[in-house]
């Protein structure tokens, strides 16, 4: 072991020079040895060990923990009791805290933390472990989702590499919330570090044991190694996986001129080339690896994304130089387990968002949710330098927080769309125009609050993120018909006296939204989100002496539209109308003979079937 005198430290050298000059002589430092810590394993057997301090985590119920003298393991004197609060308890939303040693312990002679646990009901303890010292917590080990029940059971949490724990202060910690929204109580007893002789080998893992590939990274990039775990063979022959801090591992780069790894598990890319990063836990190589190929310079788009051309009044833009953008809280929420890094860069004069190390990234605008009920499409331009053959993909998810406008509450809905080749391309801008109707799980969209991007490509450039509607209301009214009034039975027109008492929105179970809008002062019938829609004439009409059904229609986004004439029975016949119409009105005069066998002496209803948004005017029978 190194003694302080053998360590070359500029500060010390300077200090001894000063001391010599001032004539105070040398300090004797040779006799000093590294501090030694007590090799005690006990944390709580029948009472606290004397060096122990408890502190509750912020936001937790600070009174959740008490010493209990009634419910104890093996009839010992005392146990530790934890009262997990109900959901939304004013005292705190969860129970959590850490026990740490004032002085530190030498735990290198033990191989596991063990304790007994029981609860008032079957439940799951979210996190329990050791190594949390309210400081750097360099050697934290956490067991996640520990199932407990009403019987005492022994829990063994292995120490991934005991040799490193020779001055550990964090001896025990826990954190857990209500189970199914309800609080409960659990007890922990006989907490100690011990050497469990029949504990099997402990194998490490990085990236949860996956071999991760980053095919395109660049000089200067940094990549954090996630998913550090240790899997131990327990005395009962089962495997237990715990999450462990980077400090337990040694990281190795196959080419340190290309990439190095810090003790905290952050890979720094130094130069172009290939390198494989592996981790070692003790004497054994951990499962999983990181294989990276770095270029000397960043692979970024050379041309900006196509400039959007849609009229701003039909667009709700989140990110585009072409529009005024609505407020977005963040373009990288850094949710747990997200490895994604982001940067705002310029391509030419165009602002572009750059995502790298992408696994998934949240974009949140929940403080100003977007009402997209009148929108029809979601647009995003994406660019990736990564290979994109199937099944490589980019995924786009929209999340609506529902009527309560906040996360949770049971009314949140979302839907994810996966984009693959041939739509997805490498090294070229891909403009995605996704009909909101394709987000079938997004059953409401009045409170859009999140966009989640994910996929298998690790580099993604994003621009022109907006919602828009294709249907623009006609700028001019439908042409006014010029038929003599005596030759017309009018259903819907400003130019004639209409059949009285007509119901334009009978409840036939349709989802179409019917409204009347004024275009240039002319009342126009609008079907929004048409599936089908009926018109019940105020009185039955004998049109047998008339020649045509006339109507004017306009739809920029319908891909199907039919009109039906109906006589009792019902007897109905469809006539197909060409759509979409483009921006202008289309007038049709349909020979009534086309509706055979409908009884023209007794027409009672009309019906439209199709999709999209449809404007109608001047629905009338003429000679």
Partner 1 sequence: MRSSLVLIAILVAGCEQQPVQTLPERTWTLTWSDEFDGAVGNSPDTSKWTFDIGTGAGGWGNAELQYYTNRQSNVQLNGDGHLVITARRESYAGSGFTSARLKTQGLFSQRYGRFEARIRTPSGPGVWPAFWMLGDSFADVSWPQCGEIDIMEQRGQQPAITHGSVHGPGYSGANAKTKSYGLMVGRFDTDFHLYAIEWSSDYIDFFVDDYLYQRIQPSDLSGEWVFNQPFFIILNIAVGGNFVGYPTTATPFPQQMIVDFVRVYTQS
Interface residue list for partner 1 (CB under 8 A)? 197-198, 200-201, 233, 235-239
Eight-state DSSP code of residue 492: E
Q: How far apart are CA 396 and CA 465, in angstroms?
A: 11
Q: Which two tokens stand for residue 535?
A: 């018109």
Residue 37: partners with Cβ closer than 8 Å, 6 or more residues away: 103, 104, 105, 106, 166, 167
Q: Closer CB to partner 1, residue 27 or residue 195?
A: 195
In the complex, minimum distance from the CB of residue 148 to partner 1, in angstroms, rounded to a whole number: 16
Distances (CA, A) of 26 to 6, 10, 21, 290, 462: 15, 16, 11, 50, 64
Give the residue ranges of DSSP H helices in 396-520.
Answer: none
Q: Which two tokens stand for residue 7?
A: 């360590």
Q: Closer CB to partner 1, residue 145 or residue 517?
A: 145
Q: Closer CB to partner 1, residue 200 or residue 227?
A: 200
In the complex, minimum distance from the CB of residue 147 to partner 1, in angstroms, rounded to a whole number: 11
Q: Closer CB to partner 1, residue 74 or residue 236?
A: 236
In the complex, minimum distance from the CB of residue 240 to partner 1, in angstroms, rounded to a whole number: 9
In the block, tokens 């006296």 appear at 497
In the complex, minimum distance from the CB of residue 196 to partner 1, in angstroms, rounded to a whole number: 10
Q: Closer CB to partner 1, residue 147 or residue 296?
A: 147
Q: Closer CB to partner 1, residue 33 or residue 236?
A: 236
Q: How far apart are CA 182 and CA 479, in angstroms?
A: 65
- Closest CA relative to residue 218, chosen from 303, 302, 293: 293
Q: Closer CB to partner 1, residue 167 or residue 200?
A: 200
DSSP 140-158: -EEEEEEEE-SS-EEEEEE
In the complex, minimum distance from the CB of residue 249 to partner 1, in angstroms, rounded to a whole number: 22
Q: Closer CB to partner 1, residue 238 or residue 302?
A: 238
In the complex, minimum distance from the CB of residue 234 to partner 1, in angstroms, rounded to a whole number: 9
Specify whether the CB–CB gap between 467 and 379 falls below 8 A.
yes
In the complex, minimum distance from the CB of residue 208 to partner 1, in angstroms, rounded to a whole number: 16
In the complex, minimum distance from the CB of residue 113 to partner 1, in angstroms, rounded to a whole number: 19
Q: How far apart are CA 338 and CA 357, in angstroms?
A: 9
Q: Closer CB to partner 1, residue 109 or residue 200?
A: 200
In the complex, minimum distance from the CB of residue 200 to partner 1, in angstroms, rounded to a whole number: 6
Q: List beta partners, residue 377.
A: 435, 468
Q: Which two tokens stand for residue 149?
A: 């029940």
Q: Closer CB to partner 1, residue 70 or residue 198?
A: 198
- Closest CA relative to residue 231, chosen from 247, 248, 243: 243
In the block, tokens 């119409």 appear at 581
Q: Closer CB to partner 1, residue 201 or residue 274?
A: 201
Specify whether the CB–CB gap between 513 and 613 falls below 8 A.
no
In the complex, minimum distance from the CB of residue 111 to partner 1, in angstroms, rounded to a whole number: 11
In the complex, minimum distance from the CB of residue 123 to partner 1, in angstroms, rounded to a whole number: 19
Q: Closer CB to partner 1, residue 147 or residue 582?
A: 147
Q: Which two tokens stand for residue 69?
A: 């003298």
Specify whether the CB–CB gap between 286 and 202 falls below 8 A.
no
SS3 (DSSP) at 372:
coil
DSSP 169-216: EEEEEEEE--BTTB-EEEEEEEEEEE--TT---EEEESGGG-EEEEEE
In the complex, minimum distance from the CB of residue 176 to partner 1, in angstroms, rounded to a whole number: 21
- Closest CA relative to residue 193, chosen from 11, 316, 41: 41
Q: List beta partners, residue 515.
A: 526
Cα angle 299-304-309, degrees, rounded to a multiple of 5? 150
């Amino acid at each position: 072991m190194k003694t302080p005198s053998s360590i070359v430290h500029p500060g010390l050298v300077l200090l001894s020079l000063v001391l010599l000059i001032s004539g105070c002589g040398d300090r004797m430092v040779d006799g000093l040895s590294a501090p030694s810590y007590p090799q005690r394993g006990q944390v709580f057997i029948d009472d606290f060990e004397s060096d122990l301090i408890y502190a509750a985590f912020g936001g937790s119920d600070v009174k959740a923990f008490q010493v209990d003298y009634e419910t104890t393991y093996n009839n010992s004197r005392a146990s530790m009791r934890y009262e997990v609060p109900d959901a939304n308890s004013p005292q705190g939303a969860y129970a959590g805290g850490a026990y740490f040693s004032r002085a530190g312990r030498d735990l290198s002679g033990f191989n596991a933390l063990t304790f007994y646990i029981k609860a008032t009901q079957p439940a799951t303890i979210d996190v329990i472990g050791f190594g949390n010292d309210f400081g750097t917590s360099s050697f934290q080990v956490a067991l996640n989702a520990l199932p407990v029940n009403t019987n005492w059971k022994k829990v063994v949490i292995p120490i991934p590499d005991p040799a490193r724990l020779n001055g550990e202060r964090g001896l025990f910690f826990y954190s857990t919330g209500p189970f199914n929204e309800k609080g409960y109580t659990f007890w922990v007893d006989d907490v100690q570090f011990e050497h469990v002789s029949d504990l099997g080998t402990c194998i490490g893992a990085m990236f949860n044991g996956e071999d991760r590939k980053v095919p395109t990274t660049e000089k200067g990039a940094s990549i954090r190694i996630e998913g550090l775990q240790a899997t131990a063979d327990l005395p009962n022959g089962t495997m237990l996986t715990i999450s462990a801090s980077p400090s337990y591992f040694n990281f190795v780069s196959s080419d340190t001129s290309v990439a190095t790894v810090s003790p905290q598990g952050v890979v720094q890319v130094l130069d172009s080339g290939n390198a494989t990063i592996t981790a070692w836990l003790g004497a054994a190589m951990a499962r999983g690896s990181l294989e990276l190929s770095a270029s000397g310079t960043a692979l970024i788009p050379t041309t900006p994304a196509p400039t959007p051309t849609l009229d701003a009044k039909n667009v709700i833009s989140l990110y585009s130089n072409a529009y005024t953008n609505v407020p977005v809280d963040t373009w990288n929420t850094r949710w747990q387990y997200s490895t994604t890094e982001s940067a705002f860069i310029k391509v030419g004069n165009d602002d572009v968002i750059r995502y790298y190390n992408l696994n998934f990234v949240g974009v949140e605008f929940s403080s100003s949710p977007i009402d997209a009920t009148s929108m029809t499409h979601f647009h995003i331009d994406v660019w990736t330098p990564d290979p994109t053959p199937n099944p490589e993909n980019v995924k786009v998810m929209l999340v609506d927080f529902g009527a309560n406008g906040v996360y949770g509450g049971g009314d949140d809905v979302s839907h994810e769309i996966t984009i693959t080749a041939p739509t997805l391309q490498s090294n070229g801008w891909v403009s995605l125009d996704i009909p909101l109707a394709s987000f079938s799980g997004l059953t409401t969209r009045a409170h859009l609050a999140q966009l989640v991007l994910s996929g298998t490509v690790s580099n993604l450039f994003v621009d022109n993120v907006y919602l828009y509607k294709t249907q623009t209301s006609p700028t001019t009214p439908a042409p006014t018909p010029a038929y003599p009034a005596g030759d017309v039975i009018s259903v819907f027109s400003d130019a004639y006296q209409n059949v009285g008492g007509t119901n334009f929105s009978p409840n036939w179970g349709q989802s179409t939204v019917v409204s009347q809008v004024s275009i240039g002062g002319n009342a126009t019938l609008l079907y929004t989100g048409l599936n089908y829609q009926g018109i019940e004439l105020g009185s039955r009409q004998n049109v047998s002496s008339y020649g045509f059904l006339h109507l004017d229609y306009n739809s920029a986004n319908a891909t199907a539209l039919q009109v039906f004439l109906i006589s009792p029975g019902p007897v109905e016949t469809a006539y197909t109308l060409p759509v979409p119409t483009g921006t202008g009105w289309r007038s049709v005069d349909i020979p009534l003979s086309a509706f055979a066998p409908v009884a023209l002496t007794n027409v009672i209803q009309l019906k439209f079937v199709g999709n999209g948004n449809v404007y109608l005017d001047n629905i009338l029978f003429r000679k």
